[in-house]
Structure 1
Amino acid sequence: MATYVLVHGAGSDSWYWHLVTAELVGRGHDVVAPDLPVADESAGLAEYTEAVVRVIGDREDLIVVAQSMAGFTAPLVCERVPVTLLVLLAAMVPAPGESPGQWWGATGHEQARRELDEREGRDPDAPFDPEVTFLHDVPQDVREQLFARGGGVQADRPFADPWPLAEWPDVPTRFLLCQDDRFFPSGFQRRIAEERLGITADEMPGGHLPALARPLDLVERLEEYRRGRG
């Protein structure tokens, strides 16, 4: 069995993983899902990394799964502790010296998002609506639980931090995109995985939040990765 380290994205917390955690624990795995200091304006990428490393402790046989913005943090964790496999899930992939705030323009994200909205009949200039962008495939009962919890605060501080590594860490890495992602369109993600990691992205159905919308499907993909170890 393995230790899964589940790292949430911006404006989120460990609850995002609760359905995946329950399934993995039921299969006999150890699971840690740290809460990053997303509301703390004094916390940057170093503090995010420290929060993950602290929760890992002396655990071994680590499979790190990084959702969305955690693509900036997870490689830094891999520099601190021995990681067996890194899985990027609908994730940002940083370039050396690039901050999360710079990533959007450097990758052409806005153009890709607009083109997808236009193809699918949505107004690309409409006000941001999380239900349209993030929750369109999340079951209603899970949506209600999410809204009842409140939260969703994300400090600006980490978006200013340049990614400090000179190159991607020497860790087997898989990239899993979501085919119906309205935030990080699938074609955009395929290009980023190829350009920045030199790998072909794997794909699963669903939108940007698969741990809430398709937890069992996601666990099956993670378990396939574990058995093949990348």
Structure 2
Amino acid sequence: MATFVLLHGGWSGGWVWNEVARILRRAGHEVATPTLTGYGERTHLLRQDVTFSTLVDDVLGVLHYGEFTDVVLVAHSLNGPLGQAVAAHAPQQVARLVLLDAVMIEDGQRTVDAFDSAFTAGIQAWVDAAGQGWFVPRIEPEAGSIDDREARGRHTAMPWLPYLEPVSLPPVTLPRTYVLCTEKSGSPEDTAILAAARRAREAGWTVQDLASGHVPMWTSPAALAELLEAQVTSA
């Protein structure tokens, strides 16, 4: 059996993984779904001094205090670079890194560098206008959408400044998989994700497609859990 540590994306929390975690646990795996500082049920910790290192330490703490080894670390969406950083900082504990429809960066880049500069400027303008210059306000899903039905009001504001920090990414040799959700709408986020998948393939990662929208934890939890379990046998 394996140990999975599942990292959520923007505006979210560990709760987004609930159904996938249930499936994996029923199969006998150990699963941790940490919520990062300032997100989800930890939204009361949203402060201007939350840094990228804060988020890295969140996950390293889970690995340390859980005494986890041979971890399959999965990072979704905006927090792909966080998964990259944790894998680089804890090579003795992380056995495989999986980026799930996530952005990806190179050593010294910022998370926002994965996106088109005009898109990032638009988010910054929103942050300046409604987030005091340092947090991203909570999103309101379209009524009746899958996000609306599944989130049920649980989206929160999120820290912004960590994603403006350059990230140190020492080389790693562990197995790496990129999972590309194939149902795309042509959004700026999709453009960044497709670019990440291309870079992963060029860098020799295993790249796998998943017939799903951007949040397969909601739309295809069983298929996602099966794909994640397959990473154990291929590690």
Match in the other structure for 2:75:
66
> Is the Cα contact below 8 Å between 2:105 and 2:113 reproduced in 1?
no
The residue type equivalent to 1:158 in the other structure is P
In structure 2, how many angstroms separate the alpha carbons of the residues matched to 1:103 and 1:190?
Answer: 12
> Is the Cα contact below 8 Å between 1:177 and 1:189 reproduced in 2?
no
Q: Deviations over 1:46-80 (max 9, x none)?
A: 11111011112211121000101221111221233
Offset, 1:85:
0.8
In structure 1, how many angstroms separate the alpha carbons of the residues matched to 2:194 and 2:9?
Answer: 21
Query: Are 2:86 and 1:83 aligned?
Result: no
Alignment of 1:197-212 (within 5 A): 197-199=203-205, 201-212=207-218
Structure 2 segments unaligned to the other structure (5+ residues): 39-45, 121-138
- Percent of aligned pairs sharing the same letter: 27
Match in the other structure for 2:41:
none
The residue type equivalent to 1:45 in the other structure is F
The alpha-carbon distance between structure 1 residues 145 and 166, as it changes in their structure 2 partners (threshold 3 A), is closer
In structure 1, how many angstroms separate the alpha carbons of the residues matched to 2:119 and 2:233?
Answer: 33
Match in the other structure for 1:125:
none
Offset, 1:199:
3.2
Structure 1 segments unaligned to the other structure (5+ residues): 111-127
In structure 1, how many angstroms separate the alpha carbons of the residues matched to 2:142 and 2:220?
Answer: 16
The alpha-carbon distance between structure 1 residues 160 and 221, as it changes in their structure 2 partners (threshold 3 A), is same
TM-score, normalising length: structure 1: 0.78
1:192 to 199, 202, 206: 199
Query: Are 2:174 and 1:178 aligned?
Result: no
Match in the other structure for 1:221:
227
Residue aligned with 2:68, SS: coil
Offset, 1:101:
2.1
Offset, 1:40:
3.3
Residue aligned with 1:69, SS: helix
In structure 1, how many angstroms separate the alpha carbons of the residues matched to 2:198 and 2:87?
Answer: 23
Match in the other structure for 2:159:
155
Residue aligned with 1:88, SS: strand
Match in the other structure for 2:33:
33
> Is the Cα contact below 8 Å between 1:109 and 1:184 reproduced in 2?
no
> Is the Cα contact below 8 Å between 1:16 and 1:211 reproduced in 2?
yes
In structure 2, how many angstroms separate the alpha carbons of the residues matched to 1:188 and 1:102?
Answer: 12
C-alpha RMSD over aligned residues: 2.6
Query: Are 2:62 and 1:55 aligned?
Result: yes
Alignment coverage as a number of residue pairs: 202
Offset, 1:187:
4.6
TM-score, normalising length: structure 2: 0.76
The alpha-carbon distance between structure 1 residues 24 and 11, as it changes in their structure 2 partners (threshold 3 A), is same
Q: Deviations over 1:137-157 (max 9, x none)?
A: x4xxx74341333x3312211
In structure 1, how many angstroms separate the alpha carbons of the residues matched to 2:150 and 2:216?
Answer: 16
In structure 1, how many angstroms separate the alpha carbons of the residues matched to 2:113 and 2:19?
Answer: 32
